[in-house]
Amino acid sequence: MKEDFQRLIENVEKCHSVEEAEKLLYRSIDTPKLREAVEFGKELHKGQFRKSGEPYIIHPILVAVIATYFTRSEPVALASILHDVVEDNPNVSVYDIRNRFGEEVANLVTGLTKISALSKEMGASEKRLKSALNFRGLLLHSISDGRVLLIKLADRLHNMLTLGAMRPDKQKRIAEETLVIYAPIAHRMGISILKNILEDLAFKYLLPEEYKKIDDYLTANWEKFKIRLNNFISEIKPKLEKNGIPVSQIRGRIKHKYSIYQKMQRKGISIEEVLDLLAVRIILERNPLECYRALGVVHLNARPLIYRFKDYIALPKENGYQTLHTTIYDGKSIIEIQIRTEEMDKSAEYGVAAHWKYKEGGNFKVPWLEEIGVGVNEDVEDFYELVKNDLFSEDIVVYTPAGDTVTLPRGATLLDFAYKVHTEIGNRAVEGYVNNEKVPLLTELKTGNVVKIVTGDEPIPRCSWIELLKTSKAKFYQTKLCRKRERALLEKVGFGILKGIFGVEDRLLRIAIRKNRLCNLIPKIPKNRKTLEDVVKQIYPTLKKFKRFYFKKIQLREIQIGNFLFYTNHQLEGVSFSYCCHPKFGDKIVALLDEKGRGAEIHHFFCTEAERRLDKAVYVEWHQEKENRYILMVNLENRRGELAKFLNFLTGFGAFINNLSLSEETNTCQLEITLEGKKAEQLKKRLEEKYRILQFTSKKDAYNG
């Protein structure tokens, strides 16, 4: 199956003429309507060429070849051929497609066209926003029909196969988008062969040196690996057959390059130190029970690494994946073994598309897309941040008290579980139990846990928890609750700041605000110094008219104390911290006057203790220095020149190295660096692409100045 796909991709790569592309397509699927669509596409794309110089029509034909490998469906083939027609030809509309090729094809083309249109709206200087828009459009238009995703993945794969004709900067941008958007989507759809090839192609363009290093090592050791795999297969196959286990086939393979690179980064090791490069897949005929018998035979004839065993037959992944995973040591090699039936194998390779293969009409929905759809109305970049964790993460499976299984991303908490079960259970969760033991709602869950949630009467915003949650649904609904709470708090803080400046009773201050029609500006005061100045200037004359108050001129001034900038008429002399909320550098904060009125107490903006005293609020913001200090800890390969290469990379990025310490025992390097604050996130991202980062934190927070 995988070998068939690899042969298909090799044929696609060698295809450089329209005639060759058509032959390849008609070998897969051939109908009169499809031939009509090809001729229609050839006519409309006449005179259009790709960067390689080849006629453009080759691209949509080959997209159809790739897509129909997964589902031999005429509508999918037609939509693949026509996916760029409406976008590239102003004289052709979706209405024309509907009249000529039918409603189903027109709907697929509409989804694909809208995705491309979103992507092209953005300018070159807005690459991140462009990717986020593309991402949201891709998911939004696939919720009702997952075949849109399949065609888009086929389109992306052919673009990656022909990426060599692009400029280097464009190669990297497309490769990065492939790695962070398209490969994870293929993973969530369960289409492993598509995910693996997309990852390896993106890896090749993004990190060519690292790719070559792994590729050279695998090529140099290929014969040795092949002998080890063949030896294991020749030993285990007769033993399975002797026990009456109906073996369909046994396949050996070397893991794909990007997964090897990820393991190297995760463990901080070199390619030579990766022990489990080899994998064997044992495919049985029909009965899932035979998989467990086969597992017994494997374990009796080799030493199993029990901590690596996973049963995805009893506990399938959310995308339907079912396989027994085990890892063994046979005295010579560590080998990962996967055992499954032919039906499970088809599902593992084709994912959700396995159920579409010869299906016409009916339901083509992808279950996890419907859940992701909760945040589609969010800001595009917020939506991207919300959802991407759901795409990237590995899964765990936990149980409800009734015995139902719930699939969650690794690292998910009880609150994530609550939202997965039902939105209102998440909103109103007050306590939780794991295996009948009461635990905090932020406790990380493990596969096999039995989880119970107790709810209260009212929704509870937990604003400081949002970054600790793992699922997009939990983050989305908690963000929604917190925005509502933030609006109410901003009004209270704004009013408190004004009350502290003027020192008047609430009633008179409210009269002055209403008289000057400033109600809408009060919630903006805590976030904007200019708004504070404007409101003070407008209110001051009104308050002076009250006879029992005589105001001297209000003189606001800036006071810097440590990491904080205050703007007030109080004589502040210092700051203190209440340890009820532990604000960190960059968090949303509120400052409250202490009892003597000479100092400010710093709290997290959403601190419940601070909320009781917001009438004592003082305007505060973080003092942003041009340069900040950061603690960086990284795992480096133990080889000549690696440290020098790493330090050159840092200094080339503009980082000044204040001090450095090395640990030969753990191959770690710890540094304190000085860097422009605006470059920190960019550096962190680049480092994570090349090295295993153990720590990257600012030295500034509310407790260390």
Look at 74-83, 202-211, 397-406, 447-456 and tell me which has the smallest mean pLDDT: 397-406
Tokens of residue 8, six digits: 């298909």
Rounded to an integer, the average pLDDT of 380-407 is: 72
Q: If pLDDT is split at 50, 70 and 90, which confidence band does 65 have?
A: very high
Instruction: Say yes or no: 161 and 69 in one domain.
Output: yes
Residues 231 and 109 in one domain: no
- Is-catalytic flag, 87? yes
User: How confident is the model over 47-69, as a mean pLDDT?
Assistant: 92
CA Rg value for the chain: 30
Contact call for residues 76 and 34 (beta carbons, < 8 A): no
**Residue 363, domain member (yes or no):** no
Query: Residue 702 pLDDT > 60, yes or no?
Result: no
Tell me which of 36, 54, 87, 318 is the catalytic residue. 87
Q: DSSP characters for 568-580?
A: ESS---EEEE-TT
Task: Report residue 642 as tokens.
Answer: 């690696």
Shared domain for 440 and 328, answered yes or no, is: no
At 565-586, the pLDDT tens digits run 999 999 898 998 877 777 877 7
Q: How confident is the model at residue 381 (pLDDT cuts 50, 70, 90)?
A: low
Residue 525 has pLDDT above 70, yes or no: yes
| Residues spanned by the domain of 253 | 216-355
- 548 band by pLDDT with thresholds 50, 70 and 90: low
pLDDT score of 339: 98
Of residues 149 and 140, more confidence is placed in: 149
Q: Please give the residue that has the higher pLDDT: either 545 or 442.
A: 442
Q: Are residues 262 and 337 in the same domain?
A: yes
**Burial class (CB within 10 angstroms; exposed 0-12, middle 13-18, buried 19+) of 58:** buried
Domain end call among 622, 653, 682: 622
Task: Work out the mean pLDDT of the chain and round it to a whole number.
Answer: 85
Instruction: Report yes or no on 387 lying in a domain.
Output: no
627-635 and 692-698 strand pairing: antiparallel
Residue 152 belongs to some domain of the structure: yes
380 is a domain residue:
no
Q: Which of 596, 622, 648 is the last residue of a domain?
A: 622
Helix (H, G, I), strand (E, B) or coil at 111: helix
CA distances from 647 to 287, 652, 695 (A): 56, 8, 16
Q: Say whether pTM exceeds 0.85.
A: no
**So what's the pLDDT on residue 633?**
83
Q: Is the pLDDT of residue 432 over 60?
A: yes
Comparing 25-29, 417-421, 626-630, the range with the smallest average pLDDT is 626-630
Looking at the fold, whether 6 and 154 belong to one and the same domain comes out as: yes
Does 571 map to a domain? yes
Extract the tokens encoding 368: 């996890």
Distance CA 304, CA 300 (A): 9
Residue 16, both tokens = 């450089």
Asked if the model's pLDDT at residue 57 lies above 90, the reply is yes
617 alpha carbon, distance to own chain's centre: 38
The helix or strand, by DSSP H or E, that contains position 566, with its residue range, turns out to be: strand 564-568
Confidence of residue 239 (pLDDT cuts 50, 70, 90): very high
Examine the domain organization and report whether 11 and 98 are in the same domain.
yes
pLDDT band, very low/low/confident/very high, at 703 (cuts 50, 70, 90): very low
- Higher-confidence residue of 142 and 200: namely 200
Q: How far, CA to CA in Å, does 179 sit from each of 195, 203, 211, 402?
A: 9, 8, 14, 39
Q: Any long-range contacts for 100-106 (C-beta under 8 Å, 24+ apart)?
A: 100/36, 100/40, 101/33, 101/37, 102/75, 104/75, 104/361, 105/75, 105/78, 105/79
Tokens (6 digits) for 330 = 């046979």
The arithmetic mean of pLDDT across residues 603-632, rounded, is 85
SS3 380: helix
How far lies 296's CA from each of 235, 248, 338, 592, in Å? 15, 18, 13, 66
Listed range (85-89, 115-119, 635-639) with the worst mean pLDDT:
115-119
Give the pLDDT confidence score for residue 259 in this predicted structure: 93
In which residue are the tokens 């033991």 written?
A: 437
Q: What percent of the chain has pLDDT over 70?
A: 86
Nearest-5° angle of CA 632, CA 633, CA 639?
125
Q: CATH number, domain at 398?
A: 3.10.20.30
Residue 585's pLDDT is what? 75
8 Å CB contact between 656 and 612: no
The answer on 658 and 596 residing in a single domain is: no
In a domain, 268, yes or no: yes
Angle in degrees, CA 527, 532, 533, rounded to 5: 140
| Contact criterion met (CB below 8 Å) for 286 and 264 | no
Asked whether residue 258 carries a pLDDT value surpassing 70, the answer given is: yes
Cα–Cα dist 146/656, whole Å: 49
Residue 388 has pLDDT above 50, yes or no: yes
Looking at the structure, tell me whether residues 443 and 509 fall in a common domain: no
The pLDDT of 299-314, averaged and rounded, is 91
- Do residues 435 and 450 make contact, with C-beta atoms less than 8 angstroms apart? yes
Q: How confident is the model at residue 125 (pLDDT cuts 50, 70, 90)?
A: very low
pLDDT band at 621 (very low <50, low <70, confident <90, very high): very high
Q: What's the count of helices (H) and strands (E) in the chain, helices before strands?
A: 28, 21
pLDDT at 288 over 90: yes
- Selected residue with higher pLDDT from 64 and 173: 64
Shared domain for 30 and 172, answered yes or no, is yes
Q: Tell me, what CATH number does 147's domain have?
A: 1.10.3210.10
| Residue, of 226 and 700, whose pLDDT is higher | 226
- pLDDT at 180 (0 to 100): 80
Report if residue 385 sits inside a domain.
Answer: no
Q: What is the pLDDT of residue 118?
A: 40
Q: In this predicted model, which residue has the larger pLDDT, 366 or 240?
A: 240
Identify whether 583 is part of a domain.
Answer: yes
Domain count, the chain: 5
Percent of the chain with pLDDT over 90: 48
For the ranges 281-290, 385-394, 638-647, the one whose mean pLDDT is highest: 281-290
CATH code of the domain containing 676? 3.30.70.260
| Structure tokens belonging to residue 643 | 């440290």
DSSP single-letter state for residue 179? I
pLDDT of residue 122: 38
Residue 51 has pLDDT above 90, yes or no: no
What is the rounded distance in angstroms from the CA atom of residue 447 to the CA atom of residue 48? 53
Q: Identify the three-state secondary structure at position 491.
A: helix
* Cβ–Cβ under 8 Å, residues 2 and 50: no
| Structure confidence at residue 264 (pLDDT) | 87
**Is there a single domain that holds both residue 250 and residue 162?**
no
What is the rounded CA–CA span in Å between residue 474 and residue 466? 8
CA-CA distances (angstroms) from residue 218 to 6, 196, 212, 213, 328? 18, 16, 10, 9, 21
**Options 20, 54, 88, 621, the catalytic residue:** 88
**pLDDT mean over 622-635:** 76
326, 355, 384 — which closes off a domain? Answer: 355
Give the residue from 349, 186, 372, 222 showing the smallest Cα distance to 281: 349
pLDDT tens digits, residue range 340-363? Answer: 999 999 888 888 777 665 455 555
Q: Report how far residue 276's alpha carbon sits from residue 394's, in angstroms, rounded to the nearest whole number.
A: 19
Q: Give the lowest-confidence range in 468-472, 515-519, 681-685.
A: 681-685
Same-domain pairing of 126 and 220? no
Read off the pLDDT of residues 457-488 as tens digits, 9 standing for 90 and up. 999 999 878 888 988 889 889 988 998 899 99
Helix 103-120 with 147-161: angle, nearest 10 deg: 50
The predicted model gives 72-87 an average pLDDT of 90
236 & 328 share domain? yes
Closest by CA to 31, choosing from 85, 68, 83, is 68
